[in-house]
Amino acid sequence: MVNSYTDLVPTPDRTSLDAIVRAASDLLESDGLPGVTMQAVASRVGVRAPSLYKRVENRDRLIQLVAEATLADLTARLDGLSSVAALADGLRAFSKERPAAFRLVMTPGTGTPVASGAYRAASERILQLAGELAGEEHTLEAARTVTAWATGFIIMELNGGFNLGGDVTRAWEYGVATLVEAITAARPA
Amino acid sequence: MVNSYTDLVPTPDRTSLDAIVRAASDLLESDGLPGVTMQAVASRVGVRAPSLYKRVENRDRLIQLVAEATLADLTARLDGLSSVAALADGLRAFSKERPAAFRLVMTPGTGTPVASGAYRAASERILQLAGELAGEEHTLEAARTVTAWATGFIIMELNGGFNLGGDVTRAWEYGVATLVEAITAARPA
DNA sequence: ACCTGAACACCGTTCAAGT
DNA sequence: ACCTGAACACCGTTCAAGT
């Protein structure tokens, strides 16, 4: 039985969760994390702030979704690479294209727990390659060493933390070479 | 000439910049960065929020001062140590005592530039020791490699990023040993 | 069912008025 | 000179009322 305006003209949705997450990602990169306000996101998708709550629980959850989307992009980006050095370079390149998103994912600070499955997916290739280098027994330690080094290096670089002069890219290459060699050398016979 | 109440009874100051920074540091550790509100800090030093602006420009500057005080503490903490491994262990120990302050200092994100002199002081010993290990030519690269690794490792550890099981401390020791050996091996003849 | 304005609690910050 | 209440702009979030 037709008995209301709603039944006759179901207004088509004016936005979507996907568009919201994308708008938040754009704002994150252009205005930083504090710039990702519900109002700014809403205005970007052509809606008022309260409407966002039909699709996202709250702001924290939205930031979390941005982090997870970023990890998915990163995983895709690293997928084809086949050496530890290429992987490290890919991670660094990604950090330069999307520094704010990279920071969000790698140093979420408090209050934004990201589904660990997303990290696992992104770590898959480094585990594989580290295993080849270090031997099965040291796979996990080797992968952690390389990941920690690359992450730390990139974060320091993004923060302008290398203020003692010198060639930063040279330090990067020195680090990759040093680590790969060391891990290979530590391989059990 | 005495002509006002003020001249007769100069009210003693009820707080100080030092007390404010200390209160902010305590709040940072207990409630996280978002918990460091001007009102919470003010109430902790026994004053109302607007009074804080007599001693600090604004909240961002206050956070910055907390970061600088943290770096000073860290520098003092690392001062006596005399091996790269001891330095790395000291950094990790500090991160467990004051995780929020450590995060603030190592991953300030955007909006809180810390005086670079404070970082320089904290880096002094690692530069010295890395130089002994790596040789003068590679001092800077070696110091950056170790610092990046330790920072990245600790941040990942604080974030609960090591969710693949395994012994985290074992990975830490593997990393220290591997890096020290590699840097020593790369030393020019 | 989705969207909105109005409202609430809570921030950071300013400023005139107190002492 | 330092401190305060009141006020302002701006958040996140809720909710009744529209369509």
| Short-list B1, B89, B95, B15, CA closest to B55 | B15
pLDDT of residue B93: 98
Residues of chain A with pLDDT under 50: 1-6, 8
pLDDT of residue A111: 67
Residue B2 CA to nucleotide C16 C1', Å? 25
Interface test with B, best of A149, A172, A183, A187 (most B CBs within 10 A): A149
- How far is the C-alpha of A23 from the C-alpha of A33, rounded, in Å? 13
Give contacts of A 43-72 with B, CB under 8 A. Answer: none
Structure tokens at A130: 């580290």
Residue A102 forms contact with B (CB below 8 Å): no
Cβ-count burial of B74 within 10 angstroms (0-12 exposed, 13-18 middle, 19+ buried)? buried
**Rounded to 5 degrees, what angle do the CA atoms B87, B88, B90 make?**
65
Q: CA neighbours within 13 Å on the CB side: how many for A74?
A: 34
> From the list A32, A120, A144, which residue is nearest B171 (CB)?
A144
Cβ-count burial of B183 within 10 angstroms (0-12 exposed, 13-18 middle, 19+ buried)? buried
For A127, the closest chain B residue by CA position comes to B164
pLDDT of residue A9: 56
Task: Confirm if B58 and B120 have CB atoms less than 8 A apart.
Answer: no
Using pLDDT thresholds of 50, 70 and 90, give the confidence band for residue B118. Answer: confident
Give contacts of B 2-21 with A, CB under 8 A. Answer: none
Taking only the tens place, the pLDDT of each residue in B10-30 is 667 899 999 999 999 999 999
CB contact under 8 A, B145 and A175: yes
User: In chain B, what residues touch A145 (CB-CB under 8 Å)?
Assistant: 149, 153, 171, 174-175, 178-179
User: In chain A, what residues touch B113 (CB-CB under 8 Å)?
Assistant: 160
Using a 7 Å cut-off to protein CB atoms, list the covered nucleotides of chain D. Answer: 1-6, 10-16, 19
Question: How big is chain A, counted in residues?
Answer: 189
Residues of B 14-53 whose CB lies less than 7 Å from any atom of strand D: 14-15, 47-48, 50-51
Q: What's the Cα-to-Cα distance from A99 to each of A16, A48, A123, A146, B158, rounded to whole Å? A: 25, 28, 19, 20, 21
Q: Is the pLDDT of residue B2 over 50?
A: no
**Rounded to 5 degrees, what angle do the CA atoms A102, A147, A136 make?**
145
pLDDT of residue A152: 97
For residue B96, say whether its CB is under 7 Å from any atom of strand D: no
CB contact under 8 A, A181 and B181: no
Taking only the tens place, the pLDDT of each residue in B137-155 is 999 999 999 999 999 999 9
> From the list A107, A177, A183, which residue is nearest B155 (CB)?
A107
Q: Is the pLDDT of residue B4 over 50?
A: no
Using a 7 Å cut-off to protein CB atoms, list the covered nucleotides of chain C. Answer: 1-6, 10-16, 19
Q: Residue A57: which nucleotide is closest by CA–C1'?
A: D13
Output the pTM of the full model.
0.92
For B175, the closest chain A residue by CA position comes to A145
Phi-psi region of A87 (alpha: psi -120 to 50; beta: other; left: phi over 0): alpha
CB contact under 8 A, B100 and A120: no
Taking only the tens place, the pLDDT of each residue in B42-98 is 999 999 999 999 999 999 999 999 999 999 999 999 999 999 999 999 999 999 999
Q: Is the pLDDT of residue B1 over 60?
A: no
Phi-psi region of B9 (alpha: psi -120 to 50; beta: other; left: phi over 0): beta
For residue B154, say whether its CB is under 7 Å from any atom of strand D: no
